[in-house]
Amino acid sequence: MGFGQFLSAPETKLRIVTYRDVFQDSAKVASIFGEDYEKLSAVIKLDPQDISKLSIKEGDTLILKNSFGKVIVKALNSGYDHSHTGTAYMVNSPWSNALVPEDSGGTGVPDFKDFEVLASSAKGGKVTGIKEII
């Protein structure tokens, strides 16, 4: 355990937008409990500036939390050519759904594609497993 374990990790507020991915979706069809599905689902795609702000490297794990849930996922560089600081992308999955606000304002449609989380380094913590989510 390094000295860094005792320092508080910087926290950043992120707006999450979800999307679909055919590779992740196919892995789900094969087995929602499989390693491939977890590997392709438990990720967040960030702007490089947000990666710096969080004092992490690409591939490190991040804690994402809000008042509805908390998950640990792997941080990736989005690779988009436009800047999207403060907005991050997650593939639609039980990991993103663990953080989606339950209040639908009476409409019956939660904000699956637009919600906020607080992100901080998981300091090497393991990605949340599917069975921990349910």
Residue number, 41 or 61, with CB nearest to another protein: 41
Give me the least distance between CB of 84 and another protein, in Å please: 8
Among 9, 87, 120, 123, binds another protein (CB under 8 A): 87
Closer of 88 and 121 to another protein (Cβ): 88
Write the DSSP string, 35-99.
HHHHHHHSEEEE-HHHHHHTT--TT-EEEEEETTEEEEEEEEE---SS--TTEEEEESSHHHHTT
- For 131, the 3-state DSSP assignment is helix
Q: Is residue 29 near another protein by the rule CB under 8 A?
A: yes
Check residue 112 for interaction with another protein (CB under 8 A): yes
